[in-house]
């Protein structure tokens, strides 16, 4: 990527090496090696759709860190602001194992990792040339106090500079409790323009969590967030603005692997936003990219290129020659 051309989107977080099992880990067998991270999944999805994307973060000075950076660069993601840790912290690791149908169990090995040590000084330079969107997730603040500071500082800096700030709550209960998540995410809300959440995640940004969805959405919009998108899995998604709600059904597809579907949805939605599409068109692209993700194995490997977005509109059995 040409460094003189500013990115459209900047994102940061922890990208780990990913070991994927074909069966129960306790039974042994072969493991496939790749990389995974919510923010980098979105970055790859956007890059494949033709957008200029920058990923910032920290990796270990090890072979797995080299794999992360090599993979992102190969996918067209700008890594010029990625930091290789010089304090001996390793690149994080996750392992996935299929357990029942599309149910997948994920085990994390990220305590004390290079990615968890990300700090404001690592990410603010990545915003200096004025991207259109800063994309964040609720995973990064869960990693460490410095990572939480980086997320809040980046959101405030971007918002003040007129950059659209997107937050995908993306709660990971194995990283922190709902109460800890609420404490960290609530202060970020003042700087968020676009909030994306699953149905059970909206309470994590509310002062009073015990309310129904309509009241929760009204509360978030009243705090200055311009748009709230609720992901409903196989039932599609709903986008809420001050003008009302827009629903979109999910694409019908045989699900193979649900991991990464939410990140694919975000990539599609942000792509539509960058293209100037209206809310229904953004939702259409989001459920389409999500369908590609669930129809293939891996967090990001099956994400579509722009010229593949209409493949779902082809008749069954079509061969493209």
Q: Render 110-124 in DSSP notation, one character per residue.
A: -TT-TGGG--HHHHG
Q: Please answer whether residues 44 and 75 qualify as being in contact, where contact means their C-beta atoms are separated by less than 8 angstroms.
A: yes
C-beta of residue 80 within 8 angstroms of C-beta of residue 5: no
* Cβ-based neighbours of 316, under 8 Å, separated by 6 or more: none
Cα 202 from Cα 228, distance rounded (Å) = 9
Of 53, 116, 47, 51, the C-alpha closest to 83 is 116
Q: Note the helical H segments in 79-226.
A: 120-123, 145-160, 178-185, 213-222
Distance CA 204, CA 191 (A): 16
Name the one residue in this structure whose structure tokens are 């910032």: 56
Q: Which residues are catalytic?
A: 263
CA contacts within 13 A on the Cβ side of 285: 24
Biggest alpha carbon–alpha carbon distance for the chain: 56
The rounded distance, in Å, linking the Cα atoms of 35 and 298 is 9
183 CB-contact burial (10 Å; exposed 0-12 / middle 13-18 / buried 19+) = middle
Q: What is the CB-side half-sphere exposure of residue 69 using CA atoms within 13 A?
A: 19
Specify burial of residue 162 (Cβ count, 10 A radius: 0-12, 13-18, 19+).
Answer: exposed
- Residue 237 burial (CB count, 10 A): 24
Give dist(CA 302, CA 22) in Å, integer: 17
């Amino acid at each position: 990527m040409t460094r003189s051309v500013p990115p459209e989107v900047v994102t940061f977080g922890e990208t780990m090496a990913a070991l994927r099992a074909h069966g129960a880990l306790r039974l042994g067998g072969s493991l496939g090696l790749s990389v995974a991270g919510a923010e980098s999944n979105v970055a790859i999805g956007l890059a494949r759709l033709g957008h200029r994307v920058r990923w910032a973060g920290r990796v270990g000075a090890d072979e797995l860190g080299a794999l992360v950076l090599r993979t992102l660069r190969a996918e067209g993601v700008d890594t010029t602001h990625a930091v290789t840790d010089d304090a001996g912290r390793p690149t994080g690791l996750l392992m996935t194992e299929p357990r029942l149908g599309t149910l997948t169990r994920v085990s994390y090995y990220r305590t004390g990792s290079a990615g968890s040590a990300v700090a404001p000084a690592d990410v603010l330079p990545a915003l200096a040339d004025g991207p259109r969107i800063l994309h964040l997730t609720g995973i990064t603040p869960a990693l460490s106090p410095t990572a939480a500071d980086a997320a809040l500082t980046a959101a405030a800096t971007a918002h003040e500079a007129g950059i659209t700030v997107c937050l995908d709550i993306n709660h990971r209960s194995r990283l922190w409790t709902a109460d800890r998540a609420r404490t960290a995410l609530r202060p970020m809300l003042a700087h968020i323009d676009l909030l994306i959440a699953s149905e059970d995640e909206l309470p994590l940004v509310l002062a009073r969590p015990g309310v129904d969805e309509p009241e929760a959405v009204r509360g978030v919009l009243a705090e200055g967030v311009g748009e709230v998108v609720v992901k409903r899995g196989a039932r599609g998604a709903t986008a809420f603005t001050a003008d009302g709600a827009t629903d979109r059904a999910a694409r019908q597809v045989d699900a193979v692997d649900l991991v990464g579907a939410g990140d694919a949805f975000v990539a599609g939605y942000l792509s539509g936003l960058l293209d100037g599409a209206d809310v229904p068109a953004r939702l259409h692209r989001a459920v389409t990219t999500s369908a590609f993700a669930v129809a293939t194995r891996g967090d990001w490997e099956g994400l579509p290129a722009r010229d593949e977005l209409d493949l779902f509109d082809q008749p069954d059995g079509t061969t493209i020659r």
